[in-house]
Each structure stands twice: as structure tokens, then as C-alpha cells.
Amino acid sequence: MKIESYIRDIQDFPKEGILFKDITPLLNDPVARKECLSVLVASLKGQAIDKVIGAESRGFFFGMLLAQELNAGFVPVRKPKKLPYSTISASYDLEYGTDTLEIHTDAIKKGDRVLIHDDVLATGGTAKALGELVEELGGEIVQFNFLMELSFLNGRDKIAGNPIFAAITY
Ligand code: AMP
């Protein structure tokens, strides 16, 4: 089965010039979703994971599935003022704009082995911010994990030196 066939291209969303990779057909198909999850898990080659970090909002879907499969905690990283407890934050550049991400200060313990997940690696700004949050809390990054990498945007340069996996590369 080709996971690619469950990713829908939407031209000029959310603004002109962006080719948006829509994962809703993948979410909507239980067989494709399971196959995709098994590809993501296989990339870890049995490495132990304490926490899976998912970026708001499309990183929550497979982030949560990964956490369940890996018997790990799940940590939502969210846009500002969404998380109720004490937080730290990191700012980042997006393919379309700039933003800030927050994480609960008690979400990761020093030495936790962390898997960082998001749907798309584009320019790498989001991933870099996620990595900074994990490291500030003392977590050890085991892998940056994505459904898709838009390799022509060279996002992996921003998180160089870390293991990076994407199920699909464009
Ligand atoms: P970046 O920080 O540029 O690597 O952008 C990654 C974040 O923006 C991810 O959370 C994605 O959900 C979203 N994103 C960026 N580009 C796209 C795209 N072409 N299609 C879908 N989502 C995207």
C-alpha cells in the first residue's frame, strides 16, 4: 500500500503559493493509518521512548497513536495561552508566518528519551523550536519523526545532528 495516495495536495492553502499536504484522507482510513503508524514505529528499531511530543495541531494525531503504541507518555506542545499549567516557550518561523510554541514545565523529566513528532517537516522552524523546548527541560532527543518531509525546503538543516525520519519524502 502506498501511504502517499492518502495525502491530498491542496493548492494555495492557507494562502497563495503554498501546496498544502492534507492528511485527512489518511486519518479517515483505518488500514492506511495503521500502515503509516507501523512505518513510523519501525523507524525506531526498538529504541525505548519515554515521551512522545506532538506539535499543535496535526502533530497530535499520529503523536498520540505513537505514544500508545510505544507505551510512552504523550506531551502536547501548543500555541500560546492554550496550556493551563506553567509553561516555557520557543518562537519559530513557519513556511507561512511566525509563531510561538509552549510546553508544560513538568511534561518532560531530565533524561527522558523523547520522540518529537509532527506531520510535515517544511522549513524546519517548528521542529527546531520543539527541539529547544525538549532540551531546555533536559530531555534526550531520540528522533525527529514526520509523516512527510518537503526536502526542497531544507528543513533538516535546522535540526542537523539529530536522527530524522520521514515516512514520505517529496
Ligand atoms: P516548518 O516550521 O516550516 O517546518 O513548518 C512545519 C509546520 O507547518 C508543521 O506543523 C506543518 O503542519 C505545517 N506545514 C508547513 N508546510 C506545510 C504544507 N505544505 N502542508 C501542510 N502543512 C504544512
Q: What is the pLDDT of residues 32-83, one digit of tens each?
A: 999 999 999 999 999 999 999 999 999 999 999 999 999 999 999 999 999 9
At 98 the pLDDT is: 84
Using CA atoms, how far apart are residues 169 and 150, in angstroms rounded to an integer?
A: 6
Mean pLDDT of 22-27: 98
The preferred substitution site among 11, 126, 151 for testing ligand 1, maximizing ligand atoms within 8 Å of CB, is: 126
| Per-residue CA distances from 5 to 21, 23, 24 (Å) | 11, 10, 12
At 96 the pLDDT is: 63
48 close to ligand 1 (CB < 6 Angstrom): no
Q: Compute the distance from residue 35 Cα to the ligand 1 centre, in Å.
A: 22
For the chain, the C-alpha Rg in angstroms (whole number) is 15
Q: At residue 97, what is the residue type? A: G
